[in-house]
Structure 1
Amino acid sequence: MDKHTHLIKLSVGTESIEGLEAWQDSYRARFADGLPRHVTRMWPKREAEVLNGGSIYWVIKGLIQCRQRILRLDRVTGEDGVNRCAIALEPRLIRTATAPKRPFQGWRYLKPEDAPVDLGDSRQSEDTLPPELAGALAEIGVL
């Protein structure tokens, strides 16, 4: 089996999956291909593994709640002249089982065996539980 890995990132300032989706919808209009991106200072050293089926898992309000498949990594230059990594993402946000995650800086690698499972297709359109309730249920193993 080919080796792959994921990334995990805090969605700072986002209150819900719907909020992340709305922000990405407005942001992706800036790019000709219409794909959402997350721009970061650091280029993944494990690029081949990330691009071999990896996703970015989003932490919202202290909980991993969804993921997006990573399509490619683009080099972009900021207004300050510094090269950065723009992670081009599949537009669809896939809801996952919630899992608590403490705050951290930047992004981190996430092993496939540590990634929460996707919710089934029938659960993708469910309303998101309030973060406090989802977190409490995840801590006791209900979610």
Structure 2
Amino acid sequence: MVMNLVKLCVGISSIEQLEAWREKECARRRAAGEPELIVHVTRMMPAKKDEVENGGSLYWVINGSIQCRSEIVALEQVQGDDGIKRCAIIMSPELIRTSPSPKRPFQGWRYLKPEDAPRDLGGAAAGGDDLPADLRAKLMEIGAW
């Protein structure tokens, strides 16, 4: 069985901003001779670790809606300098845009069943890149996109 995670993308206001941050992180890792993976550290390790690692994704909530996802490669326990154990979510560097799906604010991460996950967008409709950002946001707000 596969299980996904959903998490707020705090401090990011658009998919483009998240893509730019991820590209910088991949470039930094390349320069350091490290694998091009994205690592996000969160407080709690999922109890359903095996299901998440079995093809799950991290769905990102940006501006009140799920807008994209990242494929999860692994979940690893790490310990911070403060001695607290945390969970490192290791992801593929690629962002996959999804059909926008409204999501209320929450803390931490939540499980997201595959049948409840928004569908991936593909081709020319992959996020309305040709639309102005404010128009795209308004369409999402009224549920017309």
- 1:43: Cα distance to partner? 0.4
2:81 matched to 1:79? yes
Corresponding residue number in structure 2 for 1:133: 138
- 1:125: Cα distance to partner? 6.8
- 1:123: Cα distance to partner? 3.1
- 1:57: Cα distance to partner? 0.3
Are the equivalent residues in 1 in contact too, given 2:76–2:88 (CA < 8 A)?
A: yes
Corresponding residue number in structure 2 for 1:118: 120
The percent of aligned pairs where both chains have the same amino acid is 51
Correspondence list, 1:1-143, <5 A: 3-28=1-26, 29=28, 32-124=34-126, 126-127=128-129, 129-130=133-134, 132-138=137-143, 142-143=144-145
Unpaired segments of 5 or more residues in structure 2?
A: none
How many pairs does the alignment contain?
138
What is the CA–CA distance in structure 1 between the aligned matches of 2:85 and 2:35, rounded to whole Å?
20
Between 1:76-85 and 1:6-15, the stretch displaced more is 76-85
Letter in 2 for 1:94: I
Structure-2-length-normalised TM-score: 0.85
Unpaired segments of 5 or more residues in structure 1?
A: none
- 1:107: Cα distance to partner? 0.3
Let me know the Cα RMSD of the aligned residues. Answer: 1.9
What is the CA–CA distance in structure 2 between the aligned matches of 1:121 and 1:49, rounded to whole Å?
29
